[in-house]
Amino acid sequence: MNRAPLISVFFPLLFAAAGTAQTVTVFPPDHATIEGESQQSTRPLSGGVSRMQLIYSNWNQPLPHGAQITKVGFRPDASGTGTGHQLQLEVWMGHTTNLHSTVSTTFDNNYDSPPIRVVDQRIVALPTVPSVSQGPQTTYVWIPLDRPFTYDGSKNLVVEYRITANSNGNQSFTYRLDSASFYSETTTFGTACATSNQRMPAMSMQRAAAGQLLSFSLNNGPASSPGVLVIGLSNSTWQGVPLPLSLAPFGATGCSLYVSIDANVPISTSTGGSFSANVQLPNDLSLYGTWFYMQTALADLFANPGGFVTSTGAGTRIGVLPQATLLAAVGSATATTGSRANNFGLVSVFEH
């Protein structure tokens, strides 16, 4: 490392509580107040000498069109960052229409127009952020820009980090930053009606994202029983009729319909009274935020005059994987090509 120039341009990395910034947006926005599901230990700041390019989709980018970005940064993992080191760093920004599979493995091909160097080469000091009892962290790691960058909301945002040296002998080190997978809610509701052996069938659904598997299961149902799985988009109304709807008029005393019947699938329980399945969801961003609800009705001739019982209801709100891509090259800050990682969920922050 050439220490004389490094000392002359030494500039400490600023970090501050989120509340002290003028306007701060968090990417991905569905994790703004939620701890990520994992962490990144070496990307993009602690991988040693490297060139790292982060491309953020405008589809779920919370930055407003025309925003003047003055700082870029990251949210530390709730477990803390690890020992901070000094980096010799410069940052470039630009726009692109590329994302995921269309991202070129050639760095320069991912800019629609020449990028702007927003941080001149300098030394920045990564702070050591301690762990917190409950995430997410409220302290961010900031890199102030030497010149503001104007965000074009019609395109995807590119932020590139070129690290030419660090105080760890130019080698990688562990610096934990928060990373998101996807945000999805689940719920259970309603009351099951008892089977002939006094079991209460219970439906459950797992968290799910567009393009991923939707998993669901039933427990405590009647053994080896045929039935139907009801799938709906509402648990409050069905064809104008409020839910829940009592099924007593059909002889199923104490049973209720909790889910709109938008689709139904025949099923059969195991000898233990259980059922489970997975469904591949299409990789369609329009599914984001959609609730899917499920309930089962199962034959049980001796449970009630109607000869069937119903389970509790369950629901899942569909999420999306982070709409961001990382292009990374380790060992050279001037590398022309790198390796691509889609759905890269590093929780990033922007001040504007």
pTM of the model: 0.89
User: CATH for 186-317?
Assistant: 2.20.130.20
Q: What is the pLDDT of residues 183-215, one digit of tens each?
A: 999 999 999 999 999 999 999 999 999 999 999
Q: What is the pLDDT of residue 20?
A: 46
Confidence class of residue 15 from pLDDT cuts 50, 70 and 90? Answer: very low
- Please give the average per-residue pLDDT across 153-176, as a whole number: 98
- Please give the average per-residue pLDDT across 62-77, as a whole number: 97
Our measurement of the distance from residue 332's CA atom to the centroid of its chain's CA atoms, rounded to an integer in Å, reads: 30
Sequence ranges of the domains in the chain: 3-181+321-351, 186-317
The three-class DSSP label of residue 137 is coil
CB 243 within 8 A of CB 234: yes
Helix (H) or strand (E) holding 73: strand 68-74
Q: What is the pLDDT of residue 1?
A: 41
Confidence class of residue 155 from pLDDT cuts 50, 70 and 90? Answer: very high
Distance (Å, rounded) from C-alpha 328 to C-alpha 340? Answer: 7
Helix (H) or strand (E) holding 228: strand 226-232
CB 301 within 8 A of CB 322: no
Is the per-residue pLDDT at 345 higher than 80?
Answer: yes
Q: What is the pLDDT of residue 22?
A: 86
Q: What is the pLDDT of residues 303-316, one digit of tens each?
A: 999 999 999 999 99
Is the per-residue pLDDT at 11 higher than 90?
Answer: no
Is the per-residue pLDDT at 223 higher than 80?
Answer: yes
Q: Which is nearest to 231 in space by CA: 283, 281, 165, 158?
A: 281
Q: What is the pLDDT of residues 91-114, one digit of tens each?
A: 999 999 999 999 999 999 999 999
Confidence class of residue 323 from pLDDT cuts 50, 70 and 90? Answer: very high
Contacts of 178 (CB under 8 A, 6+ apart): 31, 35, 36, 39, 40, 74, 75, 76, 77, 78, 135, 136, 137, 346, 347
Q: What is the pLDDT of residue 16?
A: 42
Is the per-residue pLDDT at 6 higher than 90?
Answer: no
Confidence class of residue 60 from pLDDT cuts 50, 70 and 90? Answer: confident
The three-class DSSP label of residue 25 is strand
Q: What is the pLDDT of residues 260-307, one digit of tens each?
A: 999 999 999 999 999 999 999 999 999 999 999 999 999 999 999 999
Average per-residue pLDDT for the chain? 94
- Sign, Cα dihedral of 271, 272, 273, 276: negative
